[in-house]
Each structure stands twice: as C-alpha cells, then as structure tokens.
C-alpha cells in the first residue's frame, strides 16, 4: 500500500526543492504539472470513483480565477485562495443538487454546458456591472509564492484523495460507481454523497484557479473558462487511470511535459499529436497507466 504512494511522495519532495535548483523555465513548466496534478487527482476522487464524468472543471477553475481578480488588491493571499475554493464549492453544491440525478452522457454533456454557461454569464455580468470584460492584475505575489501555493494545493489534493479513499465516504462513492441503486437500498444517502464529492473536487479546482490567475496578469472569461482545461483534466485522469491515486499524478506530469515538448517541436501538429495520444491510450490502456503498471507487476511475479 505505502509503496504505491512512494513515487508520488518523491515527486512532491522534488517539486519542493526545485525552486533552489531549476531555471525559471523549468519552474514554470513544473507549475503547469502541479496544476494538473491537483485538477486530475481531485477530478478522479469524485468522477473516477462514481463514474459521473464531469467536464465542468473549467467552470470551477474560472470562478476561482475571478475571485482572485476581484479580491487580490484588498485581501491577503491565503484568503484569496480560500475564497476561490469557497465560491467554486458553493457553485458546485448548488448546481450539483440540480444535475447529479442525471447519469452517463447526460451528466457529461450538461457539465460541459455548465462551464460555457458560467463563461457567458461572467462575460455578461462583468460588462453590465463593471463595464469591462477583462481585469488587469497589477500587484501580484512573487513567482515563488505562487509556486509554493500551487504545490501546497497539489499536495492537499493528493492527501484528500488518499483520505477519501480510506474513508467510509470513499467507500460510498465507489459503491455509487459500482451500483448506485444498490448503494441506496443499503441506506447510503447517494444524493448527499454525490453532492459532497462534486463540491470537494470543485473546491480544489477553484483554489487552483485563484492561484493560477496571477500568471495571466490579464483575466478574461475566454482564458480562465477555457473548456480545454476541463477536457485536459479528464484526459489526464483517464490516461493515468481514474481509479488510482498515483495514475493521475504520473499522467499529469507526463502529459504536461509531452504537451510542452510537442508544442515547441511541432507547433502546428501539436493538437493532432495530443489527440492521437488520447485515442491510442483509450484503445490500448483501458485502465490507464495504473492498469499497465498493475499488469506489468503481475507478469513479473
């Protein structure tokens, strides 16, 4: 059991030591890795366990980013991050109550629509009340502060995922994924459990959104509610194996590095290559990298 988490722990320690050793470029690349570690891990904690595939991560991320844009000038940095997490969580709890009775593709499509809806609502609201669509961030925390914030959030996401998996709450989420009606007839309050899981995952995405917002300096809906963020989160979790903890962590790191390499080497074919990678991994790695790892372990024994 502990051995499975060892590579994750090593990656965490390496990331913590990195600022003293790596160049700004390496640091920025690691930041992207850490962001997706947090997003994919928290996504797997809920969607991987229950099978409720959510494309709504961008909505929570974007809400967190906007909390940062609204409050960075007058609130301390940790409060800004917590505020981003809180707004995303509140939004997830409210919408979760309305949409979590839908299953399968209906739920997936609806969460995708949700992210778009929030983006357009934000555009409209900002135009109406602030007279602007984008917001400039002037006084931003140092790169090092942002780096350690995102690292802390990534570590928190993994710690939450491990704790949830070992808890009764995690057992209930897995029960919902395996047979929701059966779980309900055993007395599991499936509706409340789903809303709680959805909300917890959204809180992490909101916190990450708030922390990453300062990297843009100019916040606008198209950038922070980018559906690609939600899509990429799902891809990473699937490639890593949404049923495991180490899988999405490893996949987040690999995927971010490969994406960066492809973007630099083949700026035009980069998206095509990523798409192919996804198709291949879906076809040949149904349980993700984690499944491949387990299979290799069995063969070696």
CA distance 301 to 299: 5
CA distance 111 to 3: 35
SS3 144: helix
Which pair of tokens denotes residue 291? 């499944």
CA distance 263 to 271: 8
Q: Please, which residue, 62 or 177, has the CB nearer to another protein?
A: 177
CA distance 39 to 290: 17
Interacting residue with another protein among 181, 264, 298, 300 (CB under 8 A): 181
Residue 39 as a binder of another protein (CB under 8 A): the answer is no
Listed ranges 110-118, 130-138, 165-173, 280-288: which one lies at the site for another protein (CB under 8 A): 165-173
Minimum distance of another protein from residue 167's CB (angstroms): 11
Minimum distance of another protein from residue 200's CB (angstroms): 19
Residue 97 as a binder of another protein (CB under 8 A): the answer is no
Interacting residue with another protein among 73, 124, 127, 179 (CB under 8 A): 179
Residue 217 as a binder of another protein (CB under 8 A): the answer is no
Helix, strand, coil % over all residues of the chain, rounded to 5: 80, 0, 20
User: How many residues lie near another protein (CB under 8 A)?
Assistant: 16
Question: Which residues 243-282 are close enough to bind another protein by CB under 8 A?
Answer: none
Residue 186 as a binder of another protein (CB under 8 A): the answer is yes
Interacting residue with another protein among 174, 273, 277, 292 (CB under 8 A): 174
Task: Provide the b/e sequence for 106-120 (b: ≥16 CB within 10 Å).
Answer: ebbebbbebbeebbe
Residue 175 as a binder of another protein (CB under 8 A): the answer is yes
Angle between helices 190-213 and 143-166 (to 10 degrees): 170
Handedness of CA 217, 115, 277, 253 (dihedral sign): positive
CA distance 232 to 237: 8
Residue 58 as a binder of another protein (CB under 8 A): the answer is no
Minimum distance of another protein from residue 182's CB (angstroms): 5
Interacting residue with another protein among 18, 102, 162, 171 (CB under 8 A): 171
Q: Please, which residue, 109 or 178, has the CB nearer to another protein?
A: 178
Listed ranges 15-23, 174-182, 210-218, 263-271: which one lies at the site for another protein (CB under 8 A): 174-182
Residue 197 as a binder of another protein (CB under 8 A): the answer is no
Burial class of residue 79 (count of CB atoms within 10 Å of its CB; 0-12, 13-18, 19+): middle
Residue 84 as a binder of another protein (CB under 8 A): the answer is no
Residue 189 as a binder of another protein (CB under 8 A): the answer is yes
Q: Give the Cβ contact number of residue 101 at 10 Å.
A: 12
> Would you tell me which residues interact with another protein (CB under 8 A)?
168, 171-172, 174-175, 178-179, 181-189
């Amino acid at each position: 059991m502990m051995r499975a988490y060892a590579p994750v722990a090593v990656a965490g320690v390496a990331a913590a030591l990195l600022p003293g050793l790596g160049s700004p470029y390496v640091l920025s690349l690691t930041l992207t890795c850490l962001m997706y570690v947090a997003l994919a891990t928290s996504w797997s904690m809920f969607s991987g366990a229950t099978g409720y595939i959510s494309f709504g991560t961008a909505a929570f991320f974007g809400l967190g980013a906007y909390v940062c844009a609204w409050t960075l000038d007058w609130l301390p940095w940790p409060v800004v991050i917590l505020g981003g997490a809180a707004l995303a969580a509140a939004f997830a709890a409210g919408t979760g109550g309305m949409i979590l009775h839908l299953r399968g593709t209906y739920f997936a499509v609806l969460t995708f629509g949700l992210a778009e809806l929030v983006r357009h609502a934000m555009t409209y609201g900002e135009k109406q009340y602030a007279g602007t669509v984008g917001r400039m961030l002037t006084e931003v925390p140092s790169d090092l502060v942002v780096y350690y914030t995102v690292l802390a959030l990534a570590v928190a996401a993994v710690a939450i995922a491990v704790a949830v998996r070992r808890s009764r709450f995690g057992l209930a989420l897995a029960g919902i994924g395996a047979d929701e009606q059966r779980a309900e007839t055993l007395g599991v309050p499936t509706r409340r459990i789903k809303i709680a899981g959805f909300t917890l995952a959204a809180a992490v995405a909101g916190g990450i959104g708030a922390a990453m917002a300062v990297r843009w300096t100019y916040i606008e809906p198209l950038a922070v509610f980018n559906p690609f963020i939600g899509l990429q989160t799902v891809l990473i979790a699937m490639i890593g194996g949404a049923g495991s903890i180490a899988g999405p962590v490893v996949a987040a790191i690999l995927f971010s590095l490969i994406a960066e390499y492809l973007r630099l080497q083949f700026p035009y074919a980069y998206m095509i290559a990523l798409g192919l990678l996804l198709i291949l991994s879906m076809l040949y790695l149904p349980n993700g990298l984690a499944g491949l790892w387990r299979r290799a372990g069995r063969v070696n024994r």
